[in-house]
Structure 1
Amino acid sequence: MKKKIWFNQWFTTAAHFIDMIKYNADGMEFEVYGTSHNEHAAYLSYCDAAFIEPDIAGEDYIEFCLRFCKIHRINIFVPRKENVLIAKNLSKFEQIGVKVLVCPDAPLMEMLDDKEATYKLMQQHPILKTAVNIPDYIIVNNAESFKEAYTALRKKGHKVCFKPVIGEGGNGFRLVQEQPDSIEELFYQGINANISFDSAYEILKQQTVFPPLMVLEYLEGYEYSIDCLSYDGKLMAAIPRKKGKGRLRELEDNPVLLKLAKDINDTLKIPFIYNIQVKYQNGIPKLLEINPRMSGGLHYSCLAGINMPYRAILLLLQGKKAIKQFRPHFGVKSSYLEKEIVLKDNVFQSSKIVHL
């Protein structure tokens, strides 16, 4: 009997995860449900049933999720939207027989969702404070403190950037440049994350107080994502994925990053699947963030010969029985081409999409 699995409001690359789960080597059968605010979200075309989500959040969204699971008899829920709040309400899903692919440690989830709290955890933990390097940073919430933070970091010799304390991916990230914004940038450089200090300062002055910003040293080396598969404190696989120039990605047997992953795993014990992001500065990897979910680029790491989305589902369903040690194939280089996806009109015009 097919198990019903639901992805809510995911990245477009969830299409890869859906395919890897559906076409697994064991022949385990799944019926995939997908929801999004956007009826043209590409990953919905990879689902067996697609639905439009209501534009709600918080406790209202939890009620929607529970109702959706009951109506469609969902067996497995793979949340992205509101995953911290879902972790806090995990018992409600367990009561209706739904397995949720989320870290059950809600306080840890909340901490990892906050970049300042994550860095403080690294600084204060007896093991992690020596195992994990973090960038120089200062938290600000008004224009004058932003100016002071920028000046202090510049005096240390750093290039300076900033980003929201709570945010996902590169949303809100800006690199502060010394010179004013120029006509060359306007006409020739396209979209970029650069902003002059004067422009940033003037914009931030528009509000007396704004949501916390992390002002920090800009790290100029290579960026890596380390995709991890773990259960019950046992690290089954860790795959450092180097983000090269342009679209180049390389799976690297990097002893320093593999040890970092093991130290974080042994300490935090995040189950199932998660991602550690670091960037190098002067030969030292410094932590950007830890995401206790599947990363947007996880499909690249699966080129190491491990179907990580499916394996995470097995861990959720079978627990310790599904623990297996893997030997990833490192040295794999990859890139990607834009690929057209013809949206299934027969799906989007049918009753499979329902406004709930």
Structure 2
Amino acid sequence: MINVLVTGIGGPTAQGIMRGLADIENIHIIGVDRREINSGTPLCDTFYKVPSVRDEEDAYKNAVKNIVEKENVDVIFPSLHEEISIYHKFRKQLSAVVASPESEILPALTNKIETYRFLEETPLKEYVPKYFGFKSSEELKEIIEEHFSDEKYIAAKQTSAHGALGFALLTDRETYLKGLEEGNKHLVPVEDYLQLQHSGGEMVMEYLDGQEFSVDIYVYEGDVIATVPRERSGVASGIVLDGKVVYNEELIRISSAVAREFIRTGFINLQFITKGKSYKLTDVNPRFCGSQIMSVGAGVNFPYLLIQYQLLNEYPAVEPEWGTRMIRFRDQFFIKEKT
């Protein structure tokens, strides 16, 4: 029996991991979450409520260590963005395999500016979009006037945010009002954005309106084992609702090369948007992501692939079923609470 611990099971990332492992024989799934009642409980065999990793880090780590010992956990799948930096050091205190990437620059990969600066020092700098960090409204105004004066849209982000958190599309007031009528919730007038308090941790970059791609990659001891590009056709609040696994030889080559620069072993997700005939790296997820379930549906079960390589010493080759499309839909389950 392989005992697998999955964290944050109330979220889509953990649920994608658990669905990938659910039908595999001899896997026992232990789920943990800060909420007693959550949507991931039906997908695990055993559940523990744990302290919040955001608010009670030490208590959370103690709880995880106790569960690992009690349940003889073999593999831990951290699913939350906040856990990336924690498990980077915490993994040394655990007897189980931790399914987060092994990388000398892992903390930098959670910061978009640091990631871009690192990539600019490699032969892959052409895939970095035009970007600028800023620490004040005055600095941002100068950046806009000098580098974006002729552009209709400017993408503003938090350097360490994930998904759509902290994202705004800056534009002029006329375009904003027209977008408001059309239901575009990300548009913000530049003059209003400049009125906000800015003290660092933010950036602006060129707006890219090409095709979005998300690429799932598994690397083992420096060798890329599997690379699966996916078109992101429908996205809401950072979650892919409609997408397709596609064979794109150039993107496979580019993303594999980028992944090798970033990590030595583990799963990583890279996001690109096309600019003309080229690709620009827009996001890095050094952890399992919510939409990797699409790769599972296409025959590449990344959670189990990691278990095979890093725990079982099995080294299978995998080939995606290109053209597999995923459509998400809402579902529900019911519980009986005492009245």
Aligned equivalent of 1:242: 231
Partner of 1:54: 51
Deviation at 1:342, TM superposition (A): 0.7
- The alignment status of 1:199 with 2:192, answered yes or no, reads yes
User: Distance between the aligned counterparts of 1:308 and 1:343, measured in 2?
Assistant: 30
Residue 259 of structure 1 aligns with which residue?
A: 253
Map of 1:141 onto structure 2: 135
Contact kept in structure 2, 1:231 and 1:323, CA below 8 Å: no
AA paired with 2:100? V
Alpha carbons of structure 1 residues 57 and 277: separation in structure 2 relative to 1, 3 Å: farther
Q: Which residue of 1 aligns with 2:145?
A: 151
Contact 1:45 1:343 in 2 (8 A): no
Distance in 2 (alpha carbons) for counterparts of 1:150 and 1:272? 38
Tell me, yes or no, if structure 1 residue 9 matches structure 2 residue 4. Answer: no
Is 1:102 the counterpart of 2:94 in the alignment? no
Counterpart of 2:238 in structure 1 is none
**Distance in 2, Cα, partners of 1:297 & 1:159:** 27
- CA distance in 1 between partners of 2:145 and 2:178 (Å): 26
Give the partner amino acid of 1:201.
L
Q: CA deviation at 1:137?
A: 0.7
Distance (whole Å) between structure 2 residues aligned to residue 269 and residue 220 of structure 1: 28
Is 1:44 the counterpart of 2:41 in the alignment?
yes
Q: Which residue of 2 aligns with 1:77?
A: 76
Report what 1:162 is aligned to.
Answer: 156
Report the RMSD for the aligned CA atoms in angstroms.
Answer: 2.4
Q: 1:140 to 1:57 in 2, by over 3 A?
A: farther
- Gaps (5+ residues) in structure 2? 236-240
Task: Tell me the equivalent position of 1:88.
Answer: 89
Q: Secondary structure at the match of 1:20?
A: helix
1:354 maps to none
Q: Which residue of 1 aligns with 2:124?
A: 128
How far apart in 1 are the matches of 2:56 and 2:220? 30
1:288 corresponds to: 282
Offset of residue 201 of structure 1? 1.3
Query: Structure 2 vs 1, CA of residues 23 and 232 (structure 1 numbering), >3 Å: closer, same or farther?
Result: same
Distance 1:57 1:223 in 2: 36
Long gaps (5+) in structure 1: 350-356
Give 1:310 deviation, angstroms: 1.1
Distance change >3 Å, CA 234–CA 51, structure 1 → 2 = same
What amino acid is the match of 2:29? V
Contact 2:219 2:267 in 1 (8 A): yes
Q: What one-letter code is carried by the residue in structure 1 that aligns with 2:220?
A: Y
Partners of 1:231 and 1:122 in 2: CA distance: 20
Asked whether the equivalents of residues 223 and 279 of structure 1 are also in contact (C-alpha less than 8 Å), the reply is yes
The secondary structure found in structure 2 opposite 1:202 is coil
Amino acid at match of 1:330: W
Q: CA deviation at 1:9?
A: 1.6
Deviations for 1:27-49, whole angstroms, at most 9, x for unmatched residues? 2x122122223334312221122
Match of 1:177 in 2: 171
2:220 maps to which residue? Answer: 231
Cα distance in 2 for partners of 1:14, 1:330 equals 24
TM-score, normalisation: structure 2: 0.88
Structure-2 separation of matches of 1:178 and 1:227:
36
Q: Deviations over 1:217-242 (max 9, x none)?
A: 11110110011122112212111101
Contact 1:242 1:251 in 2 (8 A): yes
Stretch of structure 1 that moved more, 189-198 or 250-259: 189-198
Once the two structures are superposed, residues 173-218 of structure 1 have per-residue CA deviations (whole angstroms, 9 ceiling, x without a partner) of 11012125866665x54462111112211123xxxx5232011111
| Counterparts of 1:217 and 1:168, CA distance in 2 | 18
Letter in 1 for 2:5: W
Instruction: Provide the secondary structure at the position in 2 that maps to 1:313.
Output: helix
> How many Å separate the matches in 2 of 1:61 and 1:211?
29
1:69: Cα distance to partner?
2.1
> For this pair of structures, how many residues does the alignment match?
328
Residues 87-139 of structure 1: per-residue CA shift (max 9 Å, x gap)? 1232211xxx222112233x4210111111100011012x333xx51111110
- Percent identity between the two aligned chains: 20
- Conserved? CA contact 2:22–2:43, under 8 Å: no
Give the aligned residue type for 1:128: L
For residues 41 and 148 of structure 2, the distance between their equivalents in structure 1, rounded to whole angstroms, comes to 46
Instruction: Provide the residue aligned with 1:216 in structure 2.
Output: 205
Summarize deviations over 1:284-314 as a string: whole Å, max 9, x none: 2100122221121011122322222111122
